Each structure stands twice: as C-alpha cells, then as structure tokens.
C-alpha cells in the first residue's frame, strides 16, 4: 500500500528522497480529502434519508414544500439512506468517514488494477493518487454523485475483465446497475458507456457469440434499472428532467470552468497522452469510443468530468504504469534521490505527523462556507417565529430550512430538488419573483406565503416592503418579512467565526 515506505521510519532507520516522494503524495491527499465543505443540498439528503430510516416510506406527495406540484421521484434515496445512517452513527465525523471510505474504495480499485500491470510501488502510488485526485471534482462534497464515481470505477473494472474473458458472474452488471439506479442519476452515463463499449466490441469481433453476450449484458442491465420504488416512473422522470441545457452550476460546460480548474482537469489526459506516445500505442476502438463520448459529454456538461478522468486512468493504466516506471528509473539514476539518510526519514516523519494531526482536526467538522451561505441569525428567529408557517425561501436555502424547520411543521416554497418536485412553471415563477419580473411582488399572495426569507440584497425586497410586507427580522445577510406588523428584530453585526454543519 502507499504507506509501505513508513517501515523506513523505524528508530534509527534511513530513508531516501524516493521514499519521501512515495509518502508525500498520499499524505497530501489525506490532508486534502479530509477538508469538507457542506453542499447546499446536504441538509435535504440527510432529512430525506433519515425519514426512510425512521420507517416513513416512499411518498409521491412531497411533505416539505407547499408549492410542490409534481410527483416526488426520489431517485437518490439509497445514497441518502447511507448518508443519514453514517450521520446517525457519528455525526459530522461519520459523514467524513463515509466520504473517505468511498474515495478509499476508488483508490483501492485503481491500486489493484495497477498491480495487474505489474506496477511497482512507486508507479502504483502515482497512478492511484493521480486518478483519485483527478476525480475529486465530484467526490469532494457529500452528494450522491460521490457514489456514482465509485460505481463507474467498478464498471470500468468489469468491462476490462469482460474484454479479457475472465470468469465472472452474469449477475455482476445487473446488480451494479440496480444499485446505481437507486443511488444517483449518473447511472445514465454508466449505461451509455456500457452501450458504447458493447457496440464497439461487436463491431471489432463480428461474431455471433459476441453479439449474443453483449446483447444479454445490455438488456439485463437495462432491465435491472427497473428494480426501484418507482418502476418505469424512474425512466420517465429522468427523461423529463435530464437535459444538456439545464441551468445548474454543476452542468456548466467545461470551457466555462475557471482557468485553474481547466488546467487541473487536463493534467491526467495530458499524462495519458504522453504515456501512449512513449509506447507508440493506439488504444483499441472500444476504449477510444468510451473516452470520446465522455469527453464530448464533459465539454457539454461539466459534471461528466470525473467519469472521463476515471475512464482515462483505468483504460490507459498499463501505459501510465509504464510511464511511471520510466520516471522511477530516471530518478533512481540520480544518487541523491536514492541515497538514504536520517534527515530524509525525519522529513517524512514530520510530513506524515502533520498530515495525520491536521486530518484528524478536519475530519471532526464539516464547514459551512461559500457565497450561498445561509443566515444563522435568521434561522434562530424562524425557529421561534415560523412554526407551521409557509415560508417563501431563496432556492439555495431551501434544504437548509427543511432540515431545521420541518420538525416544527414549517414548509418551504423552493429548494434544491428543483424538477424533482417542482414543475417548470413553479420554477419560472420563483425566478421571476427573485428578479422582480412580471409582477413578481404579487407572487407571495398568489401562493399563500406567510413568511418571506430572502437575501437582503435582492431587488424584490424593497418592492415587497412598499407592497405592505413588514420586516420581522433583518441582518447584514438576509431579511424575514411578515404580512403582519410586529416588532422588527435587527441582528447585531458582529464578526462571525467559522460555522460548522449542521448549524445554524
């Protein structure tokens, strides 16, 4: 494993710079991965998962929003149950451990794949760290997409084994897609990858036996996706909601990513291209087809990036292993790199100690941070003032409000589930309200809102005040409006320290 080099840190042991390099990468990633920031949807995932754990069962009628007007197809219920279970066991530590377990499983699969190509410890460390780091864009936060990256990694292993005619159960792919369908909508990417792979395999081999095997694999996998609480309703839901032009930050086209992120995203593909060039090898058509379709998807929808990174890393792993072997050989040709000295062992010990101590601190909490950050002072007020009320909310704060206020019977008007529970009409009406368009100021009366909780800077806020809504609470972040005049509470504007999940 990556930390085998720690054996060199025994009392009086000497350590080379090469050993330090093998220790530094995993230590850095451990430090990096244990720092977690709460996503705006985490509160909702916990609430919905906890409901299922508490025996509430599945319901098509959403109990948390008073403007919900479509059947609630909770397509991520299995991931939410896992998240809620780990939170119930260990709180924030449990959630961070779940994240590390999934990332660790991805790393273990990559490590095992590299070993099959006779990778040295140095090459395996670099291969594993590069793929795990490259896919971290979708595993950094606790969302169901975290599980999709792991399941896609497993799919890559299964397809490679099928190519090599290794013995394996017929049920492997159907079971994988059954689990995936109930965990995250990313199964569509996985199934598309399976379809592309199967089609190219048939075109390459052009035998009746290959056609029969691939057809059975694809059809059985597709049939397995019907094993979910909603049956074919899951297909209908995804057909109606998944589109390349959705206005969601995660669906931003690749070229609109920040420049620094684009550079990071291109690192593994560039190294893979170099590895192929060094070996003068062109991957088989089935691998090129998978990489090409995922690359196209990533350029249209940014969140496909982790799938592409895993596909490149797994499909080109023998070439990457060979490249890292070349790098290792070059390093070993330099005496200063291989020379063992107590100073190197001390440096490695300090590095590992710092990583472990800092990671131990990180893993205890999940930070609440970002431009979307909800107002803690307003939540304290709403808990006391808005029991059983209908609260017109800002989109980003909806699931935060559901977690904190739903036990008191409060319902929100909008949250991050979007098309899962709201029609296009409701979404458009909310956006028109937020932007003060199309007589948006009348919308609260139209939907029967009893409180309005919005960011203070929204242009609609002064218009609502002119219309007769009264300020019940105000801070430097948000404002709570009520239809009835009451004593206004103004939160003191004091320096706030770091906030941790679940808040307020």
Instruction: From 312, 292, 126, select the one nearest 200 (Cα to Cα).
Output: 292
Distance between CA atoms of residues 45 and 417, nearest Å: 10
Q: What is the pLDDT of residue 241?
A: 80
Q: What would the mean pLDDT of 458-469 be, rounded to a whole number?
A: 94
Q: Residue 310: which pLDDT band, with cuts at 50, 70 and 90?
A: very high
SS3 of residue 100 by DSSP: helix
Mean pLDDT of 41-62: 94
- What pLDDT, in 10s, does the model give residues 330-346? 998 888 888 888 887 88
Q: Which of 42-46, 97-101, 241-245, 317-321 has the lowest mean pLDDT?
A: 241-245
In sequence order, which residues have a C-beta less than 8 Å from that of residue 50 and are 6 or more positions away? 84, 87, 88
Q: Cβ contacts of residue 283 below 8 Å, gap of 6+?
A: 276, 291, 315, 316
- 357 vs 489 pLDDT, higher one: 357
Mean pLDDT value across the chain? 91
Find where tokens 């139209």 sit: 446
DSSP string, 304-322: GHHHHHHHHHHHTHHHHHH
CA 33 to chain CA centroid, Å, is 13
Q: Is the pLDDT of residue 8 over 50?
A: no
Closest Cα partner for 40 from 338, 399, 410, 426? 399
As a whole-number percent, the residues of the chain with pLDDT over 70 amount to 94
Query: Which three-class secondary structure string do you get for 208-267?
Result: HHHHHHHHHHHHHHHHHCCCCCCCHHHHHHHHHHCCCCCCCHHHCCHHHCCHHHHHHHHH
Asked if 479 and 497 count as a contact pair (C-beta separation under 8 A), the reply is no
Of residues 12 and 34, more confidence is placed in 34
Report whether pLDDT(11) > 50: no
pTM of structure: 0.92
Task: Kindly report, residue by residue over 465-478, the tens digit of the pLDDT.
Answer: 999 999 999 999 99
Quick one: pLDDT at residue 336? 81
Tell me what pLDDT residue 52 has: 96
- Whether the pLDDT of residue 429 is over 60: the answer is yes
pLDDT at 183: 97
* Mean pLDDT, residues 256-266 taken together: 92
């Amino acid at each position: 494993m990556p930390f085998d080099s720690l054996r060199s840190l025994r009392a009086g042991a000497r350590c080379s710079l090469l050993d330090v390099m093998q220790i530094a990468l995993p230590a850095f990633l451990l430090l990096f991965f244990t720092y977690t920031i709460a996503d705006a949807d985490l509160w909702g995932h916990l609430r919905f998962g906890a409901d299922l754990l508490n025996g509430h069962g599945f319901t098509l009628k959403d109990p948390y929003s008073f403007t919900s007007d479509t059947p609630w197809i909770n397509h991520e219920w299995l991931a939410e149950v896992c998240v809620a279970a780990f939170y119930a066991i260990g709180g924030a530590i449990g959630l961070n451990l779940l994240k590390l377990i999934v990332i660790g499983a991805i790393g273990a699969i990559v490590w095992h794949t590299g070993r099959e190509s006779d990778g040295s410890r140095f090459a395996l460390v670099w291969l594993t760290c590069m793929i795990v780091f490259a896919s971290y864009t979708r595993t950094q936060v606790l969302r169901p997409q975290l599980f999709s990256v792991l399941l896609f990694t497993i799919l890559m292993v299964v397809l490679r084994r099928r190519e090599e005619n290794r013995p394996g159960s017929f049920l492997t792919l159907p079971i994988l897609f059954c689990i995936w369908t109930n965990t995250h909508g990313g199964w569509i990417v996985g199934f598309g990858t399976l379809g592309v792979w199967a089609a190219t395999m048939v075109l390459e081999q052009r035998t009746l036996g290959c056609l029969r095997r691939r057809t059975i694999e694809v059809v059985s996998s597709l049939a397995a996706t019907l094993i979910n609480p909603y049956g074919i309703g899951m297909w209908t839901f995804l057909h109606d909601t998944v589109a390349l032009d959705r206005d969601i930050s995660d669906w931003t086209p690749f070229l609109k990513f920040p420049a620094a992120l684009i550079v990071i995203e291109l690192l593994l593909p560039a190294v893979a291209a170099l590895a192929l060039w060094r070996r003068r090898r062109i991957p088989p058509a089935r691998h090129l087809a998978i990489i090409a379709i995922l690359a196209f998807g990533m350029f249209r929808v940014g969140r496909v990036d982790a799938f592409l990174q895993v596909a490149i890393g797994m499909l080109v792993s023998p070439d990457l292993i060979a490249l890292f072997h070349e790098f290792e050989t070059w390093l070993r040709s330099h005496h200063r790199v291989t020379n063992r000295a107590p100073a190197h062992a001390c440096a490695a010990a300090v590095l590992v100690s710092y990583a472990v101590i800092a990671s131990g601190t990180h893993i205890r909490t999940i930070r609440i941070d970002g431009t979307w950050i909800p107002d803690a002072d307003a939540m304290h007020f709403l808990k006391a003032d808005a029991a059983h009320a209908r609260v017109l909310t800002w989109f980003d704060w909806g699931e935060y409000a559901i977690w904190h206020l739903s036990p008191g019977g409060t319902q929100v008007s909008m949250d991050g589930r979007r098309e899962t529970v709201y029609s296009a009409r409701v979404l458009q009406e909310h956006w028109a309200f937020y932007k003060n368009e199309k007589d948006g100021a009348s919308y609260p009366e139209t939907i029967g809102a009893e409180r309005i909780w919005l960011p203070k800077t929204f242009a609609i806020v002064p218009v609502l005040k002119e219309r007769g809504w009264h300020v019940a609470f105000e801070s430097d972040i948000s404002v709570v409006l009520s239809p009835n005049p009451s004593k206004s509470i103004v939160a003191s504007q004091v320096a706030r320290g770091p906030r941790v999940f679940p808040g307020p």
